[in-house]
């Protein structure tokens, strides 16, 4: 900031109305005026000034008295007017120089103006406060040698003419100028003062923004003006614009605004920080503090009525945390119009909010969530969550139906999705559209108390059932099933015996309408004659592979022999011998049909033989009858 100043010094602002200058002491304040330029142009705006007295014009370390600071001085067209008061003790007759510093209002460091300004004699009148009592000088001419001005107070006349700013003879003097600046001949009006208008001294009103500096005595101010360090009452609406500071003046401690309607019951004891407090006729009130609970904290207080104390209810910490119900009043309800219903609510009258029971019993130190003033969800202080219940016994307890909207429930932690229950419409190409329970290596169904596994399944698709299985019908996925063994070649394979509750065979579809190329079995006896029926035992190796096979004699056929007679009735059973050959299976059902056909053939032979025998017998009977008749004739 490039600043330079043109300065002039005056002792006082001189009023134009005449009066007795001996009426009262003038005090130690004098007016300093000058011109301030910035970048070679008259300055305008608000500036801060510093003034320091020195005993010489240039040397350092020559300061006298304390510096004087004037802030926010209005400078117009370069004109600077301030009132300075260094006290009387610094003006003891020695020469003084004034060092001036300046800066834009509230911005940066002061810039020291150069050179220092010499103080002209006017301020030295401060050194002679009793000049009005000089008593011994007969004429003013004799007062020129007075050691002190106090001895020249009664000079009644002088001779000769005056020159300079004051001209004329005694009783006809004219003040034509002040420090060579012209004084306007215009007569002043009431309440006007002599002020510099930029070119001359002329009558004018005092401009408070530019002409008046320093401190005005409280007694001269209106009662409606806010005073420092003074208790005051303001009855009208007040507006504060800009930044306003309320405090004890030391930078720490209490600073508050209290709004009260005159009831007089404001309780100022609960806090000592900065804040706002209000109170009305019903004793309701609130306090807001930002100091009592720690630096930059906000505390909110309420007093519901005259009979209750002001109580801290909420805190906003310097980290943004919000803590409600600091008085621990909530008794497990929300927004019921009493301190027992303290909590965090939303909106007006609709009953949504969050409460935490602070008193003993129930869900103490937990969280309760409300809608329509009813508890919908509770979180206990042990972490259990209840929906529809206020006393959940597990981490999550729901009193009512739960809908997952096709979303699964995973049963393991740490992101493991290999075990769960959910809705599926297909798995591994199998469509089913329903609930699906899965595990990584399998799973099980059972009971607890007593602990039993009823059904177990494996990753390869096998299912194990611990006891009975009752089904209306059983259908396998790939048209084969095994009981006690894996089916290898047939739709149903059983390891061991199979039985029924009543006698009877396996039924098979045999409708004529589903058959073609039908012909009667013939030569059944010859066919059966080719089949060797055997009695045998199974080898130890086979019985070791099939524990259900007992060590006893069995009846059957030899597959290789049977294959020669009935080739379609012999096939591989899916099992292997140690050498890798297939173990052959036989279907002995052809024996049943051929046995029946053989019986039929034998029956036909028997019938034919019987018919022949009957004929022969008849013939024999006729011969016997004829022989008997002849014998009778002979006998006669």
Task: Identify the pLDDT of residue 348.
Answer: 79
- Higher local confidence (pLDDT), 154 or 162: 162
Task: Identify the pLDDT of residue 362.
Answer: 87
Looking at 434-443, 489-498, 523-532, 604-613, which range is the least confident one? 489-498
**CA-closest candidate to residue 257, choices 285, 281, 220:** 285
Domains of the chain: 3-127+160-204 (no CATH), 403-434 (no CATH), 521-636 (1.10.10)
Q: How far apart are CA 390 and CA 388, in angstroms?
A: 7
Residue 161 has pLDDT above 70, yes or no: no
Local confidence band at 263 (pLDDT 50, 70, 90 cut-offs): low
3-state secondary structure of 288: strand
415, 400 Cβ separation under 8 angstroms: no
pLDDT, average across residues 101-106 = 90
pLDDT, average across residues 365-374 = 91
Residue 386 has pLDDT above 50, yes or no: yes
- Higher local confidence (pLDDT), 631 or 469: 631
Local confidence band at 507 (pLDDT 50, 70, 90 cut-offs): confident
Q: Which residues of 415-452 are buried (b: 16+ CB within 10 A; e: fewer)?
A: eeeeeeeeebeeeeeeeeeeeeebeeeeeeeeeeeeee
Task: Identify the pLDDT of residue 124.
Answer: 47
3-state secondary structure of 522: coil
43, 75 Cβ separation under 8 angstroms: yes
Looking at 127-141, 198-212, 318-332, which range is the least confident one? 127-141
Task: Identify the pLDDT of residue 586.
Answer: 94
Residue 530 has pLDDT above 80, yes or no: yes
Task: Identify the pLDDT of residue 132.
Answer: 41
Task: Identify the pLDDT of residue 392.
Answer: 94
- Over the stretch 172-229, which tens digit does the pLDDT of each residue have? 677 777 877 888 777 788 878 788 877 888 888 877 666 667 777 777 777 667 776 6
Residue 559 burial (10 A CB sphere; 0-12, 13-18, 19+): middle
Residue 112 has pLDDT above 90, yes or no: no
Local confidence band at 129 (pLDDT 50, 70, 90 cut-offs): very low
Find tokens 């899965």 and name the residue: 438
pLDDT, average across residues 409-435 = 88
| Cβ-based neighbours of 586, under 8 Å, separated by 6 or more | 556, 557, 559, 562, 563, 569, 570
Task: Identify the pLDDT of residue 543.
Answer: 93
Mean pLDDT of the chain: 78
DSSP letter assigned to residue 76: B
Residue 26 has pLDDT above 50, yes or no: yes
- Integer angstrom CA distances of residue 196 from 10, 165, 184, 481, 523: 11, 15, 10, 123, 157
Share of the chain above pLDDT 90, in %: 27
């Amino acid at each position: 900031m490039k600043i330079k100043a043109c300065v002039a010094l005056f002792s006082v602002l001189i009023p134009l109305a005449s009066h007795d200058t001996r009426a009262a002491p003038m005090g130690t304040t004098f007016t300093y005026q000058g011109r301030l330029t910035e970048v070679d142009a008259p300055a305008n705006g608000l500036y801060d000034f510093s003034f320091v007295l020195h005993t010489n014009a240039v040397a350092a370390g020559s300061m006298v008295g304390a510096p004087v600071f004037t802030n926010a001085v209005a400078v117009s067209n370069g004109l600077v007017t301030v009132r300075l008061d260094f006290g009387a003790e610094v003006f003891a007759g020695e020469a003084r120089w004034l060092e001036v510093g300046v800066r834009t209002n509230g911005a940066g460091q002061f810039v020291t103006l150069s050179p220092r300004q010499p103080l002209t004699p006017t301020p030295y009148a401060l050194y002679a406060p009793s000049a009005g009592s000089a008593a011994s000088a007969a004429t003013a001419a004799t007062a020129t040698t007075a050691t002190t001005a106090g001895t020249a107070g009664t000079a009644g006349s002088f001779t000769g003419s005056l020159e300079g700013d004051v001209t004329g003879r005694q009783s006809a003097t004219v003040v034509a100028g002040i420090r060579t600046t012209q004084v306007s001949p215009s007569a002043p009006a009431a309440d006007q003062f002599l002020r510099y208008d930029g070119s001359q001294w002329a009558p004018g009103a005092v401009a408070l923004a530019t002409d008046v500096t320093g401190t005005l005595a409280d007694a001269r101010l209106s009662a409606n003006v806010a005073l420092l360090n003074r208790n005051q009452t303001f009855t009208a609406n007040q507006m504060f614009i800009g930044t306003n500071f309320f405090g004890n003046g030391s930078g720490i401690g209490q600073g508050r605004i209290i709004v009260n309607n005159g009831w007089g019951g404001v309780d100022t004891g609960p806090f000592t920080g900065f804040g706002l407090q209000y109170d009305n006729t019903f004793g309701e009130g609130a306090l807001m503090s930002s100091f009592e609970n720690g630096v930059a904290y906000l505390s909110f207080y309420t007093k519901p009525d005259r009979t209750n104390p002001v109580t801290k209810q909420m805190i906003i910490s310097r980290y943004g945390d919000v803590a409600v119900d600091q008085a621990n009043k909530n008794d497990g309800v929300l927004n019921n119009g009493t301190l027992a219903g303290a909590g965090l609510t939303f909106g007006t009258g609709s009953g949504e909010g969050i409460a935490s029971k602070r008193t003993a019993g129930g869900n103490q130190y937990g969280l309760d969530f409300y809608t329509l003033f009813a508890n919908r969800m509770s979180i206990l202080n042990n972490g259990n969550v209840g929906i529809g219940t206020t006393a959940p016994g597990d981490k999550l307890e729901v009193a009512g139906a739960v809908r997952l909207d096709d979303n699964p429930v995973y049963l393991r932690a740490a992101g493991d999705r290999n075990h769960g229950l959910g809705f599926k419409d297909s798995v591994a190409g199998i469509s089913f559209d329903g609930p699906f329970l899965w595990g990584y290596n399998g799973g099980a169904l059972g009971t607890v108390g007593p602990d039993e596994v009823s059904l177990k399944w494996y990753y390869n698709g096998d299912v194990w059932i611990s006891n009975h299985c009752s089904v209306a019908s059983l259908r396998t996925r790939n048209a084969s099933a095994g009981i006690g063994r894996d089916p290898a070649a047939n739709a149903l394979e059983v390891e061991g015996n199979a039985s029924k509750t009543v006698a009877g065979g396996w039924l098979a579809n045999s409708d004529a309408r589903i058959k073609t190329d039908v012909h009667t079995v013939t030569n059944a006896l010859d066919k059966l004659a080719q089949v060797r029926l055997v009695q045998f035992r199974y080898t130890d190796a086979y019985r070791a592979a099939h524990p259900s096979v007992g060590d006893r004699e069995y009846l059957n056929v030899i597959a290789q022999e049977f294959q020669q007679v009935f080739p379609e009735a012999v096939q591989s059973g899916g099992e292997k011998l140690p050498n890798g050959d297939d173990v052959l299976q036989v279907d002995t059902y052809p024996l049943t049909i051929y046995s029946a056909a053989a019986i039929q053939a034998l029956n036909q032979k028997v019938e034919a033989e019987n018919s022949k025998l009957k004929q022969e017998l008849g013939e024999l009977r006729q011969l016997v009858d004829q022989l008997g008749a002849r014998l009778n004739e002979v006998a006669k």
